[in-house]
Amino acid sequence: MRPLPRDVSAALATEITALTVYHSNRIERVGLGLPETEIIIRGLHAPGGQYSIRNFMDTWTHAKALAIVIEFVRTGLTRVNFRPSQMMELHRCLMSECPDACPGMYRRDPAFIASNSEQVLASPPEIENLVEGVFRYLNESRHHDLEVMVNVHAWLVRIHPFADGNGRVIRLFTTFLALSSRYTGIAFTGGVDEYFASIRDWDQDPQVFGSLVLQELENMSKVYTKACSDGEVLARTKANRQFVAIQ
């Protein structure tokens, strides 16, 4: 398949980035709408109207953190040499405008999930050792990359290592794992309740969350495939126009 024309490639990058940022924010009910997120990704201006400056900053810092993920991949980082310090760097960028979240630091206070008070989260003294255990698995496991992606995502949700921004950082981390494993990317575009329920039930039935992750990987692949098809059509159209001009 021939390389995408530059304009199609740029549009594809914007679309994939906007989908990733928007849907991750949507799960937490923060940030901007999808059209406004695309505007931020293009760097045009800050949308006004119904959105507050906090909505804008949620989207802006998320986009910057995603740029760090892409740079990690570009420099050859993979799951075998990814470290907790790099996850903390993502958190530092994502929550840079929220000092109460202690950007780049593990939480120091007990926490629970409001929608599921029975879900036991790690106590602050446990967090560092538990995260280290997850990263040993990440770095050393011989499991399929997809299985590692699913397990690491669910484990980190259970640990909840940060005071705020856990879900967004973990989804950024999952995006890194997808990209570094040669997937097109991942954006959790489905129902929010389905997403949380599949993680909640992961230890009883990991296949449910695994199927959800696989479906989202396939969805992003379809975005790329469509862009490639559109790019080929555009390239042929341009070539035909050049041929007619020569005649």
Q: What is the C-alpha to C-alpha distance for residues 98 and 117, in angstroms, rounded to an integer?
A: 25
Q: Dig out the tokens for 137 from the structure.
A: 């698995």
Q: What is the mean pLDDT of the chain?
A: 86
Question: Which pLDDT belongs to residue 150?
Answer: 97
Quick check: 124 and 110 in contact, CB under 8 A? yes
Predicted confidence at residue 241, as pLDDT, reads: 46
Residue type, 115: S
Residue 231 has what pLDDT? Answer: 61
What residues form DSSP beta bridges with 58? none
Neighbours of 82 (CB within 10 A): 19
More reliable by pLDDT, 118 or 141: 141
pLDDT at 247 over 80: no
> 3-state class of 29 per DSSP?
coil
The rounded percent of the chain whose pLDDT value lies above 70 is 83
If you ran DSSP here, which 8-state letter would residue 50 be given?
T
Which domains does the chain possess? 6-193+202-221 (1.10.3290.10)
pLDDT digit string, tens, across residues 9-55: 677 778 888 999 999 999 999 999 999 898 888 875 556 667 788 88
Mean pLDDT of 86-96: 97
Residue 115: per-residue pLDDT? 59
Nearest to 156 by CA among 177, 135, 140: 135
- For 224-233, write each residue's pLDDT tens digit: 888 777 666 5
The per-residue b/e assignment along 180-217, b for 16 or more CB within 10 angstroms, e otherwise, is: bbebbbbbbeeeeeebbebbbebeeeeebbbebbeebb
Instruction: Tell which phi-psi region holds residue 182, choosing left (phi > 0), alpha (psi between -120 and 50) or beta.
Output: left
* Pair 88, 105: CB distance under 8 Å: yes
Q: Shortest CA distance to 183 belongs to which of 79, 28, 83, 61?
A: 79
Q: What is the DSSP letter of 120?
A: P
Residue 66: its pLDDT value, please? 95
